[in-house]
Amino acid sequence: MLTPIHATTVLAVLHNGQVAIGADGQATMGNTVAKSNVRKIRKLSSGKIITGFAGSTADAFTLLERFEEKLNAYGQNMKRGAIELAKDWRTDRYLRRLEAMLIAADKDELLVISGTGDVLEPDNGVASIGSGSMYAQAAAIALTKHAPQMTAKQIVEESLHIAADICIYTNHNLIVEEIS
């Protein structure tokens, strides 16, 4: 039996009124690189919400479809949609087995959504998930404090490159999206 494809780094930054979210392109099966250019960032709500995922790709797509349904049901209210998704994810027998995490960002806030029922809103304007998330998060927090002239997109790119230099499950093939 094959090991599920997983391992990645996704980072979102809300800085100086700008929002950017990015991810590397690496997917692994066990300790082997299966693909180097996976697109882990998706736009929802006509580009007003950007999401990133880590974990099983098929599971993440299922969750993104459900999240979009929740957004439509609750007038594109990201926080309410995320809370309703997290409730379903935690209590539904099928959804409970899905192995993925999501970051959602709009122009005003960042959310980390997990299958344990958590919807976390970071205090520092930086959210990260995946195997290299702590490296990227540490770099992004440092850059927001010590290089305030950088844009949110620049901070995401630089932080993901730092994570890729350290984490073997993260590569330098980045996709970064902004909310305009």
* pLDDT top residue among 31 and 154: 154
Comparing CA positions, the residue from 158, 128, 130, 132 lying closest to residue 143 is: 158
End-to-end CA distance of the chain: 44
The model's pLDDT over 82-132, given as tens digits with 9 standing for 90+, comes to: 999 999 888 888 888 888 899 999 999 999 998 888 999 999 999 999 999
**Active-site annotation, residues:** 8
DSSP designation for 4: P
Give the three-class secondary structure for 112.
Answer: strand
Q: Amino acid identity, residue 150? A: M
The model's pLDDT over 105-119, given as tens digits with 9 standing for 90+, comes to: 999 999 999 888 899
Residue-level pLDDT at 6: 53
The model's pLDDT over 1-60, given as tens digits with 9 standing for 90+, comes to: 334 445 789 999 999 999 999 999 998 888 888 889 999 999 999 999 999 999 888 888
Q: What CATH number did the domain enclosing 127 receive? A: 3.60.20.10
pTM exceeds 0.85: yes
CA distances from 41 to 3, 110, 115, 155, 158 (A): 23, 14, 19, 17, 17
The number of distinct structural domains making up the chain is: 1
Give the three-class secondary structure for 28.
Answer: strand
**CB count, 10 Å around CB of 126?**
25
**CB count, 10 Å around CB of 130?**
27
**What range defines the domain where residue 92 resides?**
5-179
